[in-house]
Amino acid sequence: MFKRRSSKSTRYAAPANYSRAPTDTSSGGYGSEKAAAATVAGVGAGAAGASAIAGLDFLPQQADDHEVSQKLSTVLDQIGLHVENFYADAPVPLNAALESELSRFETSQLPQPLAACFERAQHPTVLIKHCLAFHIVNLTLAPGKDVNPILPPELSGVVGGAYLRTLQQNATKEQISAFSTWKRLTAYLVPSLGTVGTNRAQPSSTLDISSRLASHFSTTFAPWRNEQYTDDHRTRHLTELIEHASQTAVFLFGQPDAYRFSWASPSRRGGESATGRSDERVVIVPTVSKATHAGQSLGVRGQEVVTSVTKRM
pLDDT for residue 84 = 97
Q: Tell me if 256 sits within 8 A of 186, measured CB to CB.
A: no
Task: Say which residue, 108 or 51, is predicted with more confidence.
Answer: 108
**167 band by pLDDT with thresholds 50, 70 and 90:** low
pLDDT at 165: 63
Of 87 and 51, the structure prediction assigns the larger pLDDT to: 87
Could you give the CA distance from residue 89 to residue 111 in angstroms, rounded to a whole number? 20
Q: How far apart are CA 135 and CA 82, in angstroms?
A: 14
CA distance 235 to 212: 9
CA 241/CA 238 separation, integer angstroms: 5
pLDDT digits (tens, 9 = 90+) for 182-211: 777 777 776 566 554 444 444 444 457 788
Q: Are strands 287-293 and 296-297 parallel, antiparallel or unpaired?
A: antiparallel
On the question of pLDDT at 34 being above 80, the answer is: no
Residue 191 has a pLDDT of 59
What's the pLDDT score for residue 69?
A: 95
Spatial separation of the C-alpha atoms in residues 64 and 130, rounded to whole Å: 28
For residue 28, count other CB atoms closer than 10 A to its CB.
Answer: 10
Is the whole-model pTM more than 0.95? Answer: no
Residues 6 or more apart whose Cβ sits within 8 Å of residue 108: 33, 36, 37, 263
The neighbour count for residue 198, using CB atoms within 10 Å, is 9
pLDDT at 152 exceeding the cut of 60: yes
What pLDDT is stored for residue 132 in this prediction?
97
- Mean pLDDT comparison of 151-160, 213-222, 245-254, highest-scoring range: 213-222
Question: What is the reported pLDDT for 164?
Answer: 63
What's the confidence (pLDDT) of residue 192?
61
Q: Which residues contact 93 (CB under 8 A, 6 or more apart)?
A: none
Q: In this predicted structure, what is the pLDDT of residue 229?
A: 95
∠280-285-287 over CA atoms, to 5°? 105
Show me where the domains of the chain are located.
38-312
Nearest to 248 by CA among 19, 8, 5, 13: 19
CA distance 113 to 96: 13
Predicted pLDDT of residue 160: 59
Do 211 and 48 touch, CB atoms closer than 8 A? no
Long-range contacts of 233-240 (CB under 8 A, 24+ apart): 233/86, 234/86, 235/211, 237/82, 237/85, 237/86, 238/82, 238/86, 238/214, 239/207, 239/210, 239/211, 239/213, 239/214, 240/18, 240/20
- The pLDDT, as a whole number, for residue 28 is 42
Give residue 168's pLDDT: 66
Query: What pLDDT score does 20 carry?
Result: 37
Work out the number of other CB atoms within 10 angstroms of the CB of residue 201: 8
Please state the rounded mean pLDDT for residues 80-107. 95
**Distances from the Cα of 266 to the Cα of 109, 126, 237, 254, 282, angstroms:** 12, 17, 31, 29, 10
Q: What would the pLDDT profile of 256-298 be if each residue is shown by its tens digit?
A: 888 889 998 775 434 444 344 456 899 999 999 998 887 777 7
Q: What is the pLDDT of residues 219-239, one digit of tens each?
A: 999 999 999 999 999 999 999
> Strand, coil or helix: what is 18?
coil
Q: What is the pLDDT of residue 88?
A: 97
Q: Where are the alpha helices (DSSP H) in the chain?
A: 47-51, 65-86, 96-102, 114-120, 124-139, 153-159, 162-166, 173-189, 191-194, 204-220, 231-253
Question: Which residue, among 120, 191, 155, has the nearest Cα to 24 in the 3D structure?
Answer: 155
3-state secondary structure of 225: strand
User: What's the pLDDT at 81?
Assistant: 97
pLDDT for 194 equals 53
Question: Poorest-confidence range of 14-18, 44-48, 161-165, 280-284?
Answer: 14-18
